[in-house]
Structure 1
């Protein structure tokens, strides 16, 4: 199976399935962090970084003016996020960021209010699941937000203040609306007319991303590897992940070993993932029958597995544990032994979380508890198949958006 960088993360088992049936997320996320140190699988839109930084800039202003609200970052952030999202939607623009479903529904009903009760939230647990929850840790790793996640770092604050998303007048209007909710308790109506400073500035900020240059410096040019990756990404639209990384090794040979660690990790993980899916899809069949259908070259896999073992030991506790298990427990002596060892690795991963197995073997028969479609045979090609993401989708998405802004 070849995965392309134009695919959303939801198409990748390692990122889409929050159950992570084999525990591989802990492995590939640590290895991916060596390549892309700041992003996550969810941080895919530069406008979210823009909104995050602008709200934190306005938060600092509000607190300086009204220090009695210093402990209410959560409330201030969700109110400003609601105001920006609903203004964008009511002016006919798409809002693909967290809370999109409720934002679009509200625009259809001409909802233009912000408030702190659940009826006005963009999504459940808006603070944790919205822009703040998904993007603030990445902004902190990129050096834009302080370690406690509630202030902008000095450089970013200076840039955001000299290149504000909202003008002084619009910022004052938004802060006044937020203060009404904080101090009076009830929801307030947003201005909707396009000539209003707040409305015009929100739309312009959302469309133009005035912090584009700063975000490019912090996100795309974060390291030598990420800068080179961005250049290759822009020059190779739609290139598969493996091809992208192989080309990157040629571009920056001094980091070839670092990039090879990603490839060596995936060469084993991808085959285990594909085999697990086939075992799930084969529920009701004898394990031996399904195992005999596996088009895996076990000789090539043993060689790949040796390289996988050499990637470790990993630093994170879960990553080290699961890398160690695969290193010592993956049995490639026969196809049936290989399949059975993957069932065991899956059971251990589920037992770690105290969750039920997806598939088990009972009296030689596979018994399944989830419905999963099978994969094509090319998903078993050692050294060619690719399954997990290593933050590559998020990075290519961000780098392409920033390139579009500067074109």
Structure 2
């Protein structure tokens, strides 16, 4: 799978970047994603602010593409092509490639595959076995947002209001033409779909032009994608603060300090309590991954000067246990209590206890996924079953500062979509 490309366009509203650049020394690369199982916790608080949109979902056109593909897959005209078990998924893959190609070469906001789409037009093709993100990203990343927003239901039936509008843009002649185009590529992986051969003056091309016109589905998306009025207002404030800052855009810790919302004020406070302790867990874990062969006493000694701030962040995190009642949160609460509680022993002993429990917690997370742990403790010594790729000095520096925040709680992606849905570009 290629890296996610949030796509682009040649219009005046480019997709908006993250605030903070990735720190190569702390990149969460090999060894599996989210080795501490933090996603279920931070996302639960993020969903209070942004109820529907996932982090990789940056383009309104991707949402349009998903509902269009899903609607066509349910239409009678295509059922003869979709009789086998794997045909619907293959249909989605081929349609992704076709639509992304059309968007790219019509200077519209595409979603994935800038490099793949930029080759010679006749060379770009997809098959039912294509594994590149350009033909799988919408299915993998965008469908969940469409379902949560009610644009499709749990059975992947497209909402009647969406279907009604799509039918005004997509004539039966386009479907008839598309059936012929897809028949061969759907039947065998030896037959590629070459979009360039089917998108010059065809009914399909004209229909795509109408579907991806600025106004199509715009009103529906405005009402469905962004939650209730207070959540939409929060996105307005988020964009305004970022725009006012210009090139000196603040990090997320500072940004959340500036956000104000009467109705969502408590939910913003939850984020301010959650993220700093998540960083404590992640940064201490990265410190361990950069310290093979080091004794726990030495790790605790390295953390001595940060104990007070770690304790404060853990103390602020503890009340969230009454807000999110999940097994993962209970495990994280136990970790926080080791730093924040009144246990006997000085800071050094509490830090050692925290490190021990953090490693055990990580082992449990990996066991749940049938994966081997990345860090172990044997005879009070840090052992790495897999060669570590963390810089302990960088991890320590980040722990001390508490920045940059790792998680944006979906606000970056949501604000980009909000700008497209409500702004001059859609």
Which band: TM-score by shorter chain? 0.7 to 0.9
Tell me the SS of whatever aligns to 2:303: coil
* Structure 1 position 167, deviation (Å): 5.6
Stretches (4+) displaced over 6 A: 8-17
Q: Cα distance 1:40–1:18, how it changes in 2: closer, same or farther (>3 A)?
A: farther
Asked if the contact 2:52/2:225 (under 8 Å) is kept, the reply is yes
Asked if the contact 1:30/1:319 (under 8 Å) is kept, the reply is no
Matches of 1:51 and 1:321, distance apart in 2 = 40
Matches of 2:180 and 2:23, distance apart in 1 = 39
* Structure 1 position 157, deviation (Å): 1.9
- 1:88-116 Cα offsets, whole Å, 9 max, x none, are 45x37588634555544xx4372365543
Tell me the SS of whatever aligns to 1:293: helix
Give the structure 2 partner of residue 334 of structure 1. Answer: 347
* Structure 1 position 257, deviation (Å): 1.3
Q: Which runs of 5+ in 2 are unaligned?
A: 1-16, 243-248
Q: Cα distance 1:309–1:316, how it changes in 2: closer, same or farther (>3 A)?
A: closer
- 1:117-148 Cα offsets, whole Å, 9 max, x none, are x2xx253896xx43123211211110110111
Query: Where do residues 2-401 of structure 1 align in structure 2 (5 Å cutoff)?
Result: 5-7=18-20, 18-61=32-75, 63=76, 65=77, 67-69=79-81, 71=83, 72-89=87-104, 91=105, 97-98=111-112, 102-104=116-118, 107-108=119-120, 110-111=122-123, 115-116=127-128, 118=129, 121=130, 123=132, 129-149=136-156, 151-162=157-168, 164=169, 166=170, 169-179=173-183, 181=185, 186-187=191-192, 190=195, 191=197, 194-199=200-205, 201-202=207-208, 208=214, 210-220=216-226, 222-237=227-242, 238-248=249-259, 250=260, 252-294=261-303, 297-313=306-322, 317-330=326-339, 333-335=346-348, 336-337=351-352, 338-368=354-384, 369=386, 370-374=388-392, 375=394, 377=396, 379-381=398-400, 386-401=405-420
Q: Cα distance 1:234–1:171, how it changes in 2: closer, same or farther (>3 A)?
A: farther
- 1:194-223 Cα offsets, whole Å, 9 max, x none, are 444434554675574733333232223x12
Tell me the SS of whatever aligns to 1:372: coil
Matches of 2:21 and 2:110, distance apart in 1 = 13
Asked if the contact 1:266/1:386 (under 8 Å) is kept, the reply is yes
- TM-score, reference length from structure 1: 0.79
Aligned residue-pair number: 388
Q: Cα distance 1:103–1:339, how it changes in 2: closer, same or farther (>3 A)?
A: same
Matches of 2:88 and 2:363, distance apart in 1 = 42
* Structure 1 position 189, deviation (Å): 5.0
| Structure with the larger RCO, 1 or 2 (CA within 8 Å, 6+ apart) | 1
Tell me the SS of whatever aligns to 2:390: coil
Matches of 1:124 and 1:304, distance apart in 2 = 38
Backbone CA RMSD of aligned residues? 3.8
Matches of 2:424 and 2:176, distance apart in 1 = 27
Asked if the contact 1:360/1:367 (under 8 Å) is kept, the reply is yes
Matches of 1:40 and 1:309, distance apart in 2 = 27
- TM-score, reference length from structure 2: 0.76
* Structure 1 position 241, deviation (Å): 2.0
Q: Cα distance 1:379–1:204, how it changes in 2: closer, same or farther (>3 A)?
A: farther
Tell me the SS of whatever aligns to 1:366: strand
* Structure 1 position 347, deviation (Å): 3.0
Matches of 2:209 and 2:29, distance apart in 1 = 32
Range moving further from structure 2, 275-284 or 365-374: 365-374
